[in-house]
Structure 1
Amino acid sequence: MRAGASGTTADELHGGGTLTSSPKSQDIMADVQLGCYTIKSHGAKIARLHMYDWIILVLLAVLDGLLNIIEPFHRFVGKDMMTDLRYPLKGNTVPFWAVPVIGIVLPCAIFGGIYFKKKNFYDLHHGILGILYSVLITAVITDAIKDGVGRPRPDFFWRCFPDGKDLYDNVTTGVLCHGENSVIKEGHKSFPSGHSSWSFAGLGFLTWYLTGKIAVFDRKGHIAKLCIIVLPLLAAALVAVSRVDDYWHHWQDVFAGAIIGLLAICRCCVNWLHRPHSGFILLPAIFPVPFRRRRVVASRVQHPPASRGGHCRKLLQHAAHGGDGGRRARSGWDRPERRPKT
């Protein structure tokens, strides 16, 4: 959500109406002047403004759960095809429960650490909301394709015939499985890789986030910054490679999962993050006045020039009400003699 896209004014963020001199209003205004957007001052208001975003997020989670319950398409598997599906049935190097930890919990912990240092709840909120959308959109797309394609895993033979005694239809030469239904069901979910898509969606979002936070492309020649942003992508790649090593996926499954995850974060980063070369990646996306301008305004109010009279007061009113009073004050446009004749 781009800056000002929601049409929110400063009055809405500060409880509506004009600014008062109550202690709570003074605390909020002090936070704004210092560039601080804390959970206490802005948390409830941001949550209300993004209520529908969180509702849709819950619906996406429910939809993904349903996609995991339904039976996938059982693609025909013949006797001749079993040559490529006889890889051993192994456990998971990266268990299923570890994928959300790597792709969601770890990045959110980094977002939280940055919040405690910078005191910017916009940053924390949009970071968490953005990564959850990236992962859940990826999960829904991945599981929907899994159910629709029904590609057998490389270890399908041992899922279908756990005792090693294969049995085929005399007419179609199709497999007649006698393994556990849940194991066979999971054996038809090879394409694309969920581990790969989840990892690249979560850790790819973290890479984009850090790219702006540490100003990787500031053209100052700090190669160490590139190493930092490569680490999350390297971790995602290792998770994806482990799926091929465990014989749970073909290499095409892993490659397709990575593409899905990266495409999802590109869409979500456009909504919640600015371009990675901006150097200030998470500006307040619903504040009507740009963040940097607010800090300049606060500095002018704290140290007003003696010769400018009430100009700084008008700048503060412009920042608080989201109007163009500051610009008018600078140009004198609100004076009757300066207005054009009609």
Structure 2
Amino acid sequence: MPEIQLGAHTLRSHGVQVARTHMHDWLILLLLVVIEAILNVIEPFHRFVGEDMMTDLRYPLQDNTVPFWAVPMLAIILPFFVIIVYYFIRRDVYDLHHAILGLLFSVLITGVITDAIKDAVGRPRPDFFWRCFPDGKGVFDPVTKDVMCTGVKSVIKEGHKSFPSGHTSWSFAGLGFLALYLSGKIQVFDRRGHVAKLCIVFLPLLVAALVGISRVDDYWHHWQDVFAGALLGITVSSFCYLQFFPPPYDVDGWGPHAYFQMLAESRNGNTIINGSNLQQSELESVRVDGWELSRPNSHDSFDRHTGLRSY
């Protein structure tokens, strides 16, 4: 039976093996990238916009407070940096691989859903009038009173993509995943009442919320667009996180499912455990010289100092 050693499952020793196990998942990620690119190229549905509807669509056309390039920095690069830092602390390739895979799935699935809905709904942005008529002179069909835009085609196209907010959904997808990841790692639900841990978890969500608010302040989105984007992003990130990790409130919420599966496969026979930073839940059902390393429960005699109980 192979030994279980902390730091023994590193990127160098097991990275290729773990990646090969999830090769189909990486291929699906590439497919999502292609779909996302296609959804950004196709023309969205041009919803009827009558002359009398322009009253609510005359907000000024202005630049983004949070530019487009900054969203991947917040939603992908920042969580990726935190995941890398934790890898150098824990040196667990299972956590590294599944956290990155879950993060990318969270962002890309959210992006595909968001842009698919954008193209299908075609809701005009609050600044649609100035996109449609940059000279300020409205031109409408004499019969239907539908807009007859005179502006730049690409600007008008973007003006039909208000619902839901992509900046918001991407931010909540990536930073929501980061909040769940951090809550598991620092064991925020350990029932010890450390509110400071909650502040750490809420910080990424606050950043995502501020991104969403900026979209309303810049008149690029209605508040309903931002609300729907936030709900979509946090929902998808929760599903993707739980696909690879236990719930943060679980006693094993600090590690990925694959790590505990590896431990479970090594339970039978004598197992040697090295390292001082072994987590409490890793000790379950591992026997050493007639003793069992385990979590305490109501039926066993447990020594809190040694972490041992006898049969």
Q: TM class, shorter-chain normalised? A: 0.7 to 0.9
Deviation by residue 1:69-103 (Cα, 9 ceiling, x = unmatched): 00000000010000000000000000011101100
Deviation at 1:293, TM superposition (A): 5.9
Q: Is the 8 A contact 1:160 1:179 kept in 2?
A: yes
Q: Specify whether residues 229 and 182 from structure 1 end up closer, same or farther in structure 2 by C-alpha distance, changes over 3 A only.
A: same
Partner of 1:40: 12
Partner Cα distance (2:267, 2:187) in 1: 20
Partner Cα distance (1:80, 1:116) in 2: 60
Partner Cα distance (1:159, 1:34) in 2: 58
Partner of 2:177: 205
Deviation at 1:289, TM superposition (A): 2.8
Deviation at 1:221, TM superposition (A): 1.4
Deviation by residue 1:154-205 (Cα, 9 ceiling, x = unmatched): 0000000001111111111111101000000000000000001000000000
Partner Cα distance (1:292, 1:155) in 2: 61
> Is 1:160 aligned to residue 135 of structure 2?
no
Partner of 2:155: 183
SS of the aligned residue for 2:180 comes to helix
Say which of 265, 282, 295 aligns to 2:255.
Answer: 282
Of stretches 229-238 and 263-272 in structure 1, the one that deviates more from structure 2 is: 263-272
Q: Specify whether residues 229 and 291 from structure 1 end up closer, same or farther in structure 2 by C-alpha distance, changes over 3 A only.
A: farther
Partner of 2:303: none
Partner of 1:106: 78
Partner Cα distance (1:182, 1:170) in 2: 25
Structure 2: runs of 5+ lacking an equivalent: 275-286, 290-310
Partner of 2:298: none
Runs of 4+ in 1 over 4 A off after TM superposition: 291-294
Percent identity at matched positions? 61
Taking structure 2 as the reference length, the TM-score comes to: 0.84
* Residue identity in the other structure for 1:44: V
Partner of 2:302: none
> Is 1:83 aligned to residue 48 of structure 2?
no
Partner of 2:88: 116
Q: Is the 8 A contact 2:244 2:257 kept in 1?
A: no
* Residue identity in the other structure for 1:122: Y
Partner Cα distance (1:264, 1:312) in 2: 42
Partner of 2:103: 131
Deviation at 1:290, TM superposition (A): 3.4
Q: Is the 8 A contact 2:111 2:169 kept in 1?
A: yes
Partner of 2:300: none
Q: Is the 8 A contact 1:210 1:229 kept in 2?
A: yes
Say which of 223, 231, 235 aligns to 2:195.
Answer: 223
SS of the aligned residue for 1:281 comes to coil
Considering fraction of residues, name the structure with more helix. 1
SS of the aligned residue for 2:20 comes to helix
> Is 1:56 aligned to residue 57 of structure 2?
no
Partner Cα distance (2:31, 2:194) in 1: 42
Partner Cα distance (2:191, 2:207) in 1: 26
Partner Cα distance (2:241, 2:204) in 1: 16
Say which of 270, 274, 280 aligns to 2:242.
Answer: 270
> Is 1:298 aligned to residue 272 of structure 2?
yes
> Is 1:96 aligned to residue 68 of structure 2?
yes
Q: Is the 8 A contact 1:36 1:118 kept in 2?
A: no
Partner Cα distance (1:207, 1:293) in 2: 32
Partner Cα distance (1:170, 1:184) in 2: 21
Partner of 2:222: 250
Deviation by residue 1:288-307 (Cα, 9 ceiling, x = unmatched): 4339969x93239xxxxxxx
Partner of 2:45: 73
Q: Specify whether residues 107 and 293 from structure 1 end up closer, same or farther in structure 2 by C-alpha distance, changes over 3 A only.
A: farther
Q: Specify whether residues 291 and 214 from structure 1 end up closer, same or farther in structure 2 by C-alpha distance, changes over 3 A only.
A: farther
* Residue identity in the other structure for 2:226: V
Q: Specify whether residues 43 and 284 from structure 1 end up closer, same or farther in structure 2 by C-alpha distance, changes over 3 A only.
A: farther
* Residue identity in the other structure for 2:264: P
Q: Is the 8 A contact 1:35 1:291 kept in 2?
A: no
Deviation by residue 1:201-257 (Cα, 9 ceiling, x = unmatched): 000000001111001011111110000000000000000000000000000000000
* Residue identity in the other structure for 1:56: I
Q: Is the 8 A contact 2:134 2:151 kept in 1?
A: yes
- Measured on the aligned residues, the alpha-carbon RMSD in Å equals 2.5
Taking structure 1 as the reference length, the TM-score comes to: 0.77
Q: Is the 8 A contact 1:34 1:298 kept in 2?
A: no
